[in-house]
Structure 1
Amino acid sequence: MINKKKDTKKKIIEAAINELREHNYQDLSLRKLSKQVGLTTGAFYKHFSSRDELFEEVTLEISTEISQEIEVDLIDCEPQTAILKYADKLFKLFDDDPNLMNFLFFNPVASQVLIAKKPVFPLLELIQQLIRNLIITKHLKVNEEELFIQLWSFIQGYITLVVNHVTHFDSQFLKRTLNQLLEEPESE
């Protein structure tokens, strides 16, 4: 019985991810989603107490899948190169799968997951680990949290500008800017 419930929950999550690839997350219909996996809307609520709970699970699943995909590309990379590849991969994913990435970054539950930090948001944990590795290998005397905020703010801000067609993606600009942010600041 427990395995069947887990299987059904997994099917709901997979169906939700497929729907999110095709449509904006605000348009996700629980009734339609339930029907796709052969459930009534009432039966859906036996697996998820709310739409927000589903969104939390889906956010974590997508984050896990993407971080695992990115990690494969980072094997044997030095930390600075790994951070550049990480950012580049996010841009490619936004280009290839804009609805899903829009959901991951901008659905209201995603920020709740980030704030709670429980369970861990794998995509965020990956960039934080890359930053720690950079600080250690380059013996940087920087505040890890400040460097994270600078990098994440730039990456997410630049993504937002590109996605909203305010500017176009330029891999050389991305590389130059990230390299500038990763340089050790001069002593004051």
Structure 2
Amino acid sequence: MAGKTNDTEARIIATALETIKAHGSDAVSLRQLARQVGLTTGAFYKHFASKDALFRALTVTLSNQWAAQMTTQLAAYQSAKEKLLILGEQLLQASAAQPHVIDFLFFNPQAVAQYSENADAADFPLLTLTKHLITATLAEAQSTIPAQQFFTQVWAFILGYALLIKNGAATYDRALLTKTLEEMLAH
């Protein structure tokens, strides 16, 4: 397609991420993004047909970034359960440090659509990594809890706790995360 370059898409994504970091995803305006990267609205739509398409690209980008960062960090740990705790810890700490980004990563419609058991999460490596750690943790604990059920429990806890942290109603407590995971595995 004429006029469509990866560099332009990368600039759009970077500009949108900066907007999300500073003001949240509700502040993302396609017209303003187009203006900020020097495009007309029509030219912008050659790169992203809709806000949903842009949000999907943003979610994929963030998921790739987080998965790469987490994979490097998790290499230092042997236990699947410890890796799952570290992943949860990093996401929860980021809820305080980058609340709008974590809120977007967890709750935008493109991310939420990936949480179901039948979703193809191939483009969302952070979610794939999380599900892999869930399965490995269950195997390590010799648990009979179904993987999707355990994923839902763990993910719901992390998302709920992240919302509390984001909104200043709680602060991150590693002991609470550890105890909660232990209790989930015990049932």
TM-score, with length taken from structure 1: 0.88
Separation in 1, partners of 2:48, 2:100 = 22
Please identify, of 166-175 and 17-26, the stretch whose mean Cα deviation from structure 2 is larger. Answer: 166-175
Which of 105, 130, 138 matches 2:133? 130
1:93–1:101 contact (8 Å) kept in structure 2: yes
Equivalences for 1:11-160 in 2 at 5 Å? Answer: 11-77=11-77, 78-115=79-116, 116-117=119-120, 119-160=122-163
Separation in 2, partners of 1:140, 1:119 = 26
1:113–1:119 contact (8 Å) kept in structure 2: no
Please identify, of 43-52 and 115-124, the stretch whose mean Cα deviation from structure 2 is larger. Answer: 115-124
Please state how far the C-alpha of 1:84 moved relative to its aligned partner.
Answer: 0.6
**2:175 matched residue in structure 1:** 172
Evaluate the alpha carbon distance shift between residue 113 and residue 129 of structure 1 in structure 2; reply closer, same or farther with a 3 A threshold.
closer
Please state how far the C-alpha of 1:2 moved relative to its aligned partner.
Answer: 7.6
Evaluate the alpha carbon distance shift between residue 114 and residue 38 of structure 1 in structure 2; reply closer, same or farther with a 3 A threshold.
farther
Secondary structure class of the residue paired with 2:46: coil
Secondary structure class of the residue paired with 1:56: helix
Q: What CA RMSD, in Å, does the superposition of the two structures yield over aligned residues?
A: 2.1
The unaligned stretches of length 5 or more in structure 1 are: none
Secondary structure class of the residue paired with 2:70: helix
Separation in 1, partners of 2:178, 2:172 = 11
Please identify, of 83-92 and 154-163, the stretch whose mean Cα deviation from structure 2 is larger. Answer: 154-163
Secondary structure class of the residue paired with 1:46: helix
Q: CA-to-partner distance for each residue in 1:37-63, whole Å, 9 max, x for gaps?
A: 221111000111111110111011111
Please state how far the C-alpha of 1:110 moved relative to its aligned partner.
Answer: 2.3
2:19–2:27 contact (8 Å) kept in structure 1: no
2:165–2:171 contact (8 Å) kept in structure 1: yes
1:135–1:141 contact (8 Å) kept in structure 2: yes
The unaligned stretches of length 5 or more in structure 2 are: none
2:122–2:128 contact (8 Å) kept in structure 1: no
Evaluate the alpha carbon distance shift between residue 134 and residue 158 of structure 1 in structure 2; reply closer, same or farther with a 3 A threshold.
same
Separation in 2, partners of 1:118, 1:69 = 18
Evaluate the alpha carbon distance shift between residue 118 and residue 168 of structure 1 in structure 2; reply closer, same or farther with a 3 A threshold.
closer
Q: CA-to-partner distance for each residue in 1:88-143, whole Å, 9 max, x for gaps?
A: 00011111111111111122332234454354322211111011222333333321
Secondary structure class of the residue paired with 2:7: helix
Equivalent pairs, count: 184
Please identify, of 157-166 and 90-99, the stretch whose mean Cα deviation from structure 2 is larger. Answer: 157-166
Q: CA-to-partner distance for each residue in 1:9-66, whole Å, 9 max, x for gaps?
A: 1221111112211112111121221122221111000111111110111011111111
Evaluate the alpha carbon distance shift between residue 3 and residue 139 of structure 1 in structure 2; reply closer, same or farther with a 3 A threshold.
farther
Over the matched positions of the two proteins, sequence identity in percent amounts to: 35
